[in-house]
Structure 1
Amino acid sequence: MKKTLLFLCLLVLSSVAFSQTKITGTVTDQNQVPILGANIIIVGTNTGTVSDYDGNFLLTVNQEPPFTLQVSSVGFQSVTEEVTALDQDLLIVLPEGDKLDEVIISASRTPESVRESPVTIERIDARDIENSSSPNFYTSLENLKGIDVNKGGLTYNSVNARGFAGFANTRFVQLVDGMDNASPALNFVIGNFLGVNELDVQSVEILPGASSALYGANAFNGILFMTTKSPFDDQGISVYYKTGITSQEAAGDNRFYDFGIRAAHKFSDKVAAKASFSYLNGTDWFATDYSQYTLNEPGESDFILPFRSGLAHDGINIYGDEVATDINAVAQSLEAAGLIPPGASALVPSVLVGRTGYQERDITDYEAVNGKADFSLNFRPFNNSNTEIILNSRLGFGNSIYQGASRYQLKNFLLQQHKLEVKGDDFFVRGYATTETAGDSYDMRFTGININRINASEWFGTYVGAYLTGVTTGATPEQAHAGARVFADENVTLQPGTPEFKAAFDKVTSNPDVSVGSKFVDNSKMYVGEGNYNFKTLLNDAMDLQVGGSFRRYSLDSGGTIFTDYDGPIEYDEYGAYVQGIKKFLDDRLKLTGSIRYDKSNRFDPSYSPRVSVVYSAGENKNHNFRASFQTGFRNPDTQSQFIGLNVGRAILVGSAEDNLDRRLPGTNLTGRDAYFDSYSLASVTAFTQSGDPSLLVPVQTPLVEQEKVSAFDVGYRGQLDRIFLDINAYYNIYDGFISSKLVVTPRSGSAFDASGIGDLAIGNFDVFQLYTNSQADVSSYGVVTGLSTKFAENYQVGLSYTYAKFDFDQASDPDFRAAFNTPEHQVKFSFGNPEVFKNFGFNINARWSDEFLWESTIANAIIDSRTVLDAQINYAIPKLKSVIKVGGTNIGGEEYRSAPGAGSIGSQYYISLTINN
């Protein structure tokens, strides 16, 4: 019996073996350079593999010859190869591709060549990442024409296009494999915090400008798509390790390291899986701007006072100096208590004195950490079909610094996404959930404030006593103030590094009540479902007709520390649907696209977003492509605009959702209704303070925030002239109801509409609120982006681009409105490189110049200086080890620059990396 079973098993195995066909081969370019990651697929099936570092591949199939292989790689022309015999060994040469033939998906939600795209598009792939001079692919996006990356820190970078930038960029969307990467509570992306391990990047595509017609709310200034590699097509284990230093005058030289791994395996033609992990650890850029920014009129740079210029100096990166009081009142209290001699209070002037604050480096360790993990299980249940079921989980965790109305230390912050998706050639349906946990995060401003509040009365009492000693022993008032501060700091102030300071720090940062603590609490969630179907096949390719829709639910849960959700989570929904048709005429030279989308939030009126575009390809080889489009975009007010209730020290942020107005605001007895409907304009209060004339005061009632809309006109040319690739784009945007913030001053006990409010202002009995509303002024932006690239002497590659960006806004029509365009008017970018100068050796250089511009934000307004930045790298391949060694540096000129006032100055970064692709 055992012999019989053994015979049967051997018979089965031998029959399987005899039915299998093994095809081996090598894929190279026309210069016989191996191509890594080329896709080799049997035509008509989903069976395939990819080439390894040496360009070699092995494909084992249960199919008898003859059959046809299709071989493709980004940047090369696809070729087909006939397999006619068992155990065939192939040499496949891919000709260099025409950039116009590169396939993209994001512009129209359907595969199309670059030449057919109705809008401008920027793109990088795995080869670009390999040749990048940046230490990570995400920051390398700033080398693309028309794309800005605002650097808030080593692990926090904000991508933007076409102006109105910020670290909290709610006008720009980022998708990873179709999932919105935005924080559920904040409604904006925290860089690549929950993004992609660079080993798993298939492609990155950026659509500058409005994209609401297909992608809904917030795809307003642009949308970034990151697509990862499929475990069916890209198998094996890849590893990278990078290390080096960050160099900054304030922080010195600090080591960083970054490593990652990706593993993928196809168990059969129906089942595959992958997992990836990366981890970065380094020292963030120190923020050491200790100047005081005294609020100026919107549209202008704030006045800047030097460090410790006054007795109540409030430095932007100093925390706790906001704790201030009139020292004459303190002296009177001491005199009444018999602690100083009678009449001594008369020697103490009635001036505001602020405590000595803590520098930012005193209340953060500047440790930058980002870990990312991604797990995917993929099923292709049907033979000869691309229908795929994907289970995917993605995690991002670590430490970073976020700058908004204040500076926040994100400590042990966790974001995660979980997705189930079914997709095929003509459809997709996906559902996913995003959750976040703030961990041990805290507000640095209130950390300093509340540490200093612990012994504030003792400090001010000591200060007054020391001041009296000084003036009664012959010191001038200036000398007495200086001596009093030193004495009070030495004897009362908790000194960083001591156990007493550590105990106070831990106590404050673990308490979410901003009156005594600074902890940042957030357990918000976002649930999304969406789908799309393309009827092209059913219509026998007569036209491309797509319909789709989406549903989104927000659940805000900050325990009352960010939003007014102290009585439970706040939930609201958004949903939408769209239809798009694409038709080609004139031998496929003329392509017309039309689409419209309907969106509805349960708190706002419906919104319709149409788009029409035309593309015409001229020339014998369709190498001259002209495009024009008109579309509208919209964005719903973000979660903060609707529900925030946050005291940031200089102002209290107030959302304008109707059910947010009657909730008590932190640190005051006022409500949102008081702030929106019973306040004075900031400009008039400033004028009153300077002149004392109450007739200058202007009572204001601020309209509640509504949707913001844009009408976008876009024209461009994309073409290839011999060896020169040229792309020119011009745009003009008209905004309706531009969402921004304005500052108002609200009397605490009186009314802005009678004398009681003036009385409150006179004695300082008021609060300053930052409100969210829509500007009634006309706001428009326009610009031109042009880029060209070419090759010479075989492999030398040169690129040059110029970006002009401008906006129009009449400040006089809305004096308290801050447009926050935050974008240089002129930018020039240059690249030069060769991936194969000689065998296995390559290099790349990137240079960027931008002129000065005004940065407007809640934290401060300031002129950002012009800058020139140079990055470079050299690389050497070791084919036997399937490895690449890269040595490079960013900002190697060493001249530090900053992205925004309050942020750390960006120094230089030098690195060496080893990447192994197996």
Structure 2
Amino acid sequence: MRLPTSLLASTRAGSLLVALGGLFLTAIPAAAQGGTGTVRGTVTQSGNNQPLVGVLVTVEGTSIKASTNTRGQYTIERAPTGPHTIVFRWLGYRPLSVQTTIAASGVTTADAVLEQLPIQLSELMVTGASKVPERAVEAPAAFAIVPPRVMQAAGITGQAPLALREVPGVDLAQSGMNDFNVNARGFNSSLNRRVLVLQDGRDLAIAFLGSQEWNALAVPTDEFSKMELVRGPGSALYGANAFFGVLNITTPSAREVVGTKVTLGGGFQKPTRNDGTTYGGSTMRFDFRHAGTVSQGRFGYRVNAGFNQADAWSQPRTSADGRDLKREYGDVVEDSVAHPIPVNRELRALNGQTANLATGVITGGDPDPVKNFYGAARVDYYANNGSVVTAEVGSADVRNEIFVTGIGRVQVTKALRPYARLGWASERFNVMAYWNGRRTRKPQYALASNRELKETSDIFHIEGQEIRSFNSDKGRVVYGMSIRNYQVNTKSTLMLAANDDRSDYYYGAFAQVDYQLHDKLRAVVATRVDLGSLIDPQLSPKAALVFSPNDANSIRFTVNRAFQMPNYSEFYLRAPAGAPVDFRALEAGMRASALGPALATVPNGTLFTNSAVVPVFASGNAKLNVETTLGFELGYRADLSRSVYLTVDGYVNRIRNFVTDLLPGVNPAFPFWTAPSQMTVAAQRTALQDAVKAQLLASPATALAGRGLTRTEDGRTAILVSYTNAGKVTQWGLEAGAGWQMNKSLRGDATLTVFDYNVKDAAVGDSLLANTPSAKGTLSLSYAGDRLSASGNVRLVKGYSWAAGVFNGYIEPSTTFNLDAGYDLNTNFKVFVTAQNVFDARRFEVYGGSVNGRRILGGVTTRF
């Protein structure tokens, strides 16, 4: 049973709000208790005493942390007094714990000398698998942590998903400059949302589509303190849309990045027009960050601001012959006979261009560049007991990006993505509330129909979580609750007025218990209940066993259930799905047949309301159910030696109730067309309806209309395509990753992913494809010297078939080489360069998306 849309109608929701509010208020006095002191120190590298920048320094048992500056120095103010353990961590170095006693007055010194160490799983800490920190080798899920060097290299690009290109199991499909589909374990789509993306716990998805707007990040990738991807079903802890994984992005607190950082960069790429000529191709980027502490360290602040502009890869497709897509893809598709490129015409040119109305030929201009202006400000309050209260606001102004959607390409002219977040976190609990907004300041355009699309949406979310240990720390329980409210208004451009300007609520509660059954065996059980005004109640259980024969090896078995909600487009979309159809000839044929006398009372030209212009609509289906998956996983991870690690994860997933592509005749709210009301004899009405359907189904050109001809809510004739739930699929795969530290400075990594599936049931007319290669892999080599760092990687992807929305075709196999390098001129200045697709292997990764080529960028960063 779906819940009412009113929050007040749910006593459960009211109780939850009271509980969370009470937790926040009653804990405030505790936050002020106890004395505090200051800890300072310097962190250097063993062997050469060089200062280490960016080392994470934490006071164990608290939420207090800082990081070292360009001189290797750190300061932690307002740390709880008494005996404490100061922990120093940095990827590629052996973690170090220093025992000290923090005095209430003066400064306590805690220096550290870190030894370089190959990355070992036994030393890594992860959070996303259980929502609490735990040793990576003991995590009950497949995961990957993105190395800092990769995040830093991706920063200048403005393309955060590129940081995931060396992660096993990840599908990374790019269209345009910043539109990416990030997925794991198959069944990708043009607007993928099977991987939940969180930044500091805040869901980044767009309210209406449920997908990501990667160009709208208000903190650049090189400013992330951590990117952690957990693969596999995750609804037991995270709820809806953690279908195949959760990407957790963490940004640093003010104390972690005290100082100022400025980055200035740019570069070039060569977008190619459909006639083969190139144009523009510039990229410009500026990023600024400043952070500090005030009031004797009681408060910290961090400010980010920046600008990014790049000429995009996307090209117009307005030619009246419908062959622009063929011209765009012609040099890329190896065999256009085996893999024909469909005819595709859009009625609107890209922003910055004009087109001849009759021929569709571009008469002036090149596409406007994709732009992003962003800013964010954060304030942290450091309580005496080690807890931290955070308030953050930010916004991004995104312009001219192009999405590939189920109804074709959509261009965002100008949209604002404001947000605010308030959180309170300690070692044992956290409470958080946030607001995400989206405002189309200038209309978005469906390029196929030239229709204006608008969205004003808000997401309000509040959640609380607590962690408790029991039985002498052998067991641990994590539990929490959440409330979310969506408010969406498309001004009747994407939904009918009856469904628009709406407000919907979702409620969730979860708990996980893990227990050390034996020194070498750990059990994990969890479950979550989700309720909402648009979904039936969902129960998402999870169970896992982790066997660790020693600190360097583990084997795990996990069973998970997850679900994905239909988005608002799938529930309530109403938009043109193609050019209107002329049925005057069909009407004339009916009048000339034996049914002619029965049509005498129907005015000529009105058999199909307006027979000359029968609209074609894409419509949502309010009766859709959630998609579900039940996953079984077996994983092994090990440090095979001090210099070699290995991870292998195998899985089998059973997926049910796919939301199909847009299909005719599948929505029970819109049965087949009925004869006009002027015809009152039932037998004649039935005979006419059967004759119209038979005539349309007799020709492949009109077969879609034969299944989709209907009457809309106002009784007018239309051809309508909609969504339904259908399909049963079993999929399986293997994800492997390995790393080898060859010497102190040189490291090699490799990944391999294989995938297959079997469709057991599908809706008639639906192309139920995984949109995923059966095999892909990466090889990388990185060097980290005292001043010079460099890396190169190659990504190999096997070709595969694609079907999503109006686009169906074949994605060509690809081999892509990438390089990046950086050099520290001194402790304050660094120059860097990154080259994507070094050999300019032009290819498209989303069918219907852009053809992408080489991009070379460089810049300078200063810290002080």
Residue in structure 1 matching 2:302, options 274, 295, 320: 274
Residue in structure 2 matching 1:115, options 101, 120, 137: 137
- Relative distance call for 1:113 and 1:60 in structure 2 (3 A) is closer
User: How far 1:90 moved relative to its partner?
Assistant: 4.5
- Relative distance call for 1:42 and 1:533 in structure 2 (3 A) is closer
Cα distance in 1 for partners of 2:337, 2:722 equals 20
Cα distance in 2 for partners of 1:303, 1:253 equals 34
- Relative distance call for 1:192 and 1:784 in structure 2 (3 A) is farther
- Relative distance call for 1:832 and 1:559 in structure 2 (3 A) is same
Farther off after superposition, 761-770 or 549-558: 761-770
Residue 391 (structure 1) aligned with residue 391 (structure 2): yes
Residue in structure 2 matching 1:432, options 417, 431, 434: 434
Residue in structure 1 matching 2:573, options 610, 622, 644: 644
Cα distance in 2 for partners of 1:255, 1:279 equals 14
Q: Residues 452-851 of structure 1 correspond to what in structure 2 (within 5 A)? A: 518-536=451-469, 540-565=472-497, 569-587=501-519, 589-619=520-550, 622-649=551-578, 704-722=623-641, 723-744=643-664, 749-750=674-675, 755-759=688-692, 762=695, 766=709, 767-775=718-726, 777-810=727-760, 814-836=763-785, 839-851=786-798
Cα distance in 2 for partners of 1:46, 1:355 equals 61
User: How far 1:761 moved relative to its partner?
Assistant: 7.0
Residue 885 (structure 1) aligned with residue 831 (structure 2): yes
Residue in structure 1 matching 2:165, options 139, 142, 163: 142
User: How far 1:861 moved relative to its partner?
Assistant: 0.3
User: How far 1:817 moved relative to its partner?
Assistant: 2.0
- Relative distance call for 1:578 and 1:756 in structure 2 (3 A) is same
Cα distance in 2 for partners of 1:651, 1:145 equals 45
User: How far 1:243 moved relative to its partner?
Assistant: 0.6
- Relative distance call for 1:255 and 1:629 in structure 2 (3 A) is same
Cα distance in 2 for partners of 1:560, 1:30 equals 67
- Relative distance call for 1:274 and 1:86 in structure 2 (3 A) is closer
Are the counterparts in 1 of residues 254 and 291 from structure 2 also a CA contact under 8 Å?
A: yes
User: How far 1:579 moved relative to its partner?
Assistant: 1.1
2:53 aligned residue: 36
Are the counterparts in 1 of residues 156 and 857 from structure 2 also a CA contact under 8 Å?
A: no
Q: Residues 141-180 of structure 1 correspond to what in structure 2 (within 5 A)? A: 141-180=164-203
Are the counterparts in 2 of residues 852 and 863 from structure 1 also a CA contact under 8 Å?
A: yes
1:868 aligned residue: 815
- Report the secondary structure of 2:535's partner residue: coil
2:606 aligned residue: none
Structure 1 letter corresponding to 2:799: E
- What's the CA shift string for 1:817-850, capped at 9, x where partnerless? 23241111110211011011xx412210010111
Stretches of structure 2 that go unaligned for 5 or more consecutive residues are 1-35, 327-334, 350-355, 582-608, 666-670, 677-684, 697-701, 710-717
- Report the secondary structure of 1:188's partner residue: coil
- Relative distance call for 1:914 and 1:855 in structure 2 (3 A) is same
Equivalent residue pairs, number: 739
Residue 909 (structure 1) aligned with residue 855 (structure 2): yes
Cα distance in 1 for partners of 2:613, 2:462 equals 40
- What's the CA shift string for 1:255-274, capped at 9, x where partnerless? 11112111111213321111
- What's the CA shift string for 1:647-676, capped at 9, x where partnerless? 132699xxxxxxxxxxx9xx999999x989
Cα distance in 1 for partners of 2:58, 2:97 equals 10
Cα distance in 1 for partners of 2:468, 2:441 equals 46
- Report the secondary structure of 1:758's partner residue: helix
Cα distance in 2 for partners of 1:841, 1:546 equals 43
Cα distance in 2 for partners of 1:758, 1:525 equals 48
Q: Residues 283-298 of structure 1 correspond to what in structure 2 (within 5 A)? A: 283-287=311-315, 291=323
Are the counterparts in 1 of residues 156 and 285 from structure 2 also a CA contact under 8 Å?
A: no
Q: Which has the higher helix share?
A: 1
Cα distance in 2 for partners of 1:179, 1:211 equals 16
- Report the secondary structure of 2:724's partner residue: strand
- What's the CA shift string for 1:202-242, capped at 9, x where partnerless? 10011122100000011102111100001123211112122
Are the counterparts in 2 of residues 886 and 913 from structure 1 also a CA contact under 8 Å?
A: yes
2:411 aligned residue: 409
Residue in structure 2 matching 1:229, options 237, 252, 258: 252
Q: CA RMSD in A?
A: 3.6
Structure 2 letter corresponding to 1:380: Y
Instruction: Report the identity percentage.
Output: 18
Are the counterparts in 2 of residues 24 and 59 from structure 1 also a CA contact under 8 Å?
A: no
- Relative distance call for 1:861 and 1:566 in structure 2 (3 A) is same
User: How far 1:89 moved relative to its partner?
Assistant: 9.0
Cα distance in 2 for partners of 1:857, 1:66 equals 59
Structure 2 letter corresponding to 1:120: A
Cα distance in 1 for partners of 2:380, 2:259 equals 15
- Report the secondary structure of 2:434's partner residue: strand
Stretches of structure 1 that go unaligned for 5 or more consecutive residues are 1-18, 295-299, 308-313, 321-353, 449-517, 653-663, 677-701
Are the counterparts in 1 of residues 408 and 448 from structure 2 also a CA contact under 8 Å?
A: no
Cα distance in 1 for partners of 2:448, 2:64 equals 58
Cα distance in 2 for partners of 1:212, 1:832 equals 35
Are the counterparts in 1 of residues 93 and 114 from structure 2 also a CA contact under 8 Å?
A: no
User: How far 1:894 moved relative to its partner?
Assistant: 1.0
- Report the secondary structure of 1:148's partner residue: strand
1:215 aligned residue: 238
2:209 aligned residue: 186
Farther off after superposition, 23-32 or 550-559: 23-32
- Relative distance call for 1:737 and 1:21 in structure 2 (3 A) is closer
Cα distance in 1 for partners of 2:833, 2:784 equals 14
TM-score by length of 1: 0.74
- What's the CA shift string for 1:425-455, capped at 9, x where partnerless? 111111111111112233243565xxxxxxx
Larger Rg computed on CA atoms: 1
- What's the CA shift string for 1:142-161, capped at 9, x where partnerless? 22111122112212222111
Cα distance in 2 for partners of 1:423, 1:809 equals 45
- Report the secondary structure of 1:232's partner residue: helix
- Report the secondary structure of 1:648's partner residue: strand
- What's the CA shift string for 1:19-70, capped at 9, x where partnerless? 9988553422556553211134566777764322242446678999998644
- What's the CA shift string for 1:607-665, capped at 9, x where partnerless? 1110001111124xx2121111001011222211111111132699xxxxxxxxxxx9x
Cα distance in 2 for partners of 1:231, 1:903 equals 39
Cα distance in 2 for partners of 1:417, 1:361 equals 40
User: How far 1:578 moved relative to its partner?
Assistant: 1.0
- Relative distance call for 1:284 and 1:650 in structure 2 (3 A) is same
1:80 aligned residue: 97
- Report the secondary structure of 1:428's partner residue: strand
Farther off after superposition, 710-719 or 282-291: 282-291
- Report the secondary structure of 1:213's partner residue: helix
